[in-house]
Amino acid sequence: MLAFALEESLIDAGFEIAGVAGRLETALAMIEGSVFDAAVLDANLAGVSAGPAATALKARGLPFIIVSGYFLEQLPSAFSGALCLQKPCPPERIVQALRHLLPA
């Protein structure tokens, strides 16, 4: 439900959304089969670490933002190098982070 609220905020801010994944398998399929410029990734998807998704994003050279209740230092090494935003994180902060991450 929060992902869809974030999706709406991102659309309102002018972003195009390639899709929303609530499970790791869906996220991996989207990373492999979709065209997009960046991702917002929760560190846990349905109770499973999203580390493999972070690894797949890095392999494609795609920037991503991690949203987590954990600090970046507490997350697996797959998340290293990503911008980490602490939950609860207002959608406006994610919008700002994406604008900073993506070229104008």
pLDDT (tens digit per residue) in 42-56: 999 999 999 999 999
| DSSP string computed for the chain | -HHHHHHHHHHHTT-------SSHHHHHHHHHH---S-EEEESEETTEE-HHHHHHHHHTT--EEEEESS-GGGS-GGGTTSEEEESS--HHHHHHHHHHHS--
Assigned CATH for 2-101: 3.40.50.2300
pLDDT band at 73 (very low <50, low <70, confident <90, very high): confident
61 Rama sector, left if φ>0, alpha if ψ -120 to 50, beta otherwise: left
pLDDT band at 4 (very low <50, low <70, confident <90, very high): confident
pTM, to two decimals: 0.90
Using an 8 Å Cβ cutoff, are 76 and 49 in contact?
yes
The domain locations on the chain are: 2-101
d(CA 23, CA 43): 11
Which pLDDT score, from 0 to 100, does residue 41 have? Answer: 94
Positive/negative CA dihedral, 85, 89, 92, 94:
positive
Which pLDDT score, from 0 to 100, does residue 72 have? Answer: 84
Asked whether residue 7 carries a pLDDT value surpassing 70, the answer given is yes
Using an 8 Å Cβ cutoff, are 102 and 17 in contact?
no
pLDDT band at 1 (very low <50, low <70, confident <90, very high): low
pLDDT band at 68 (very low <50, low <70, confident <90, very high): very high
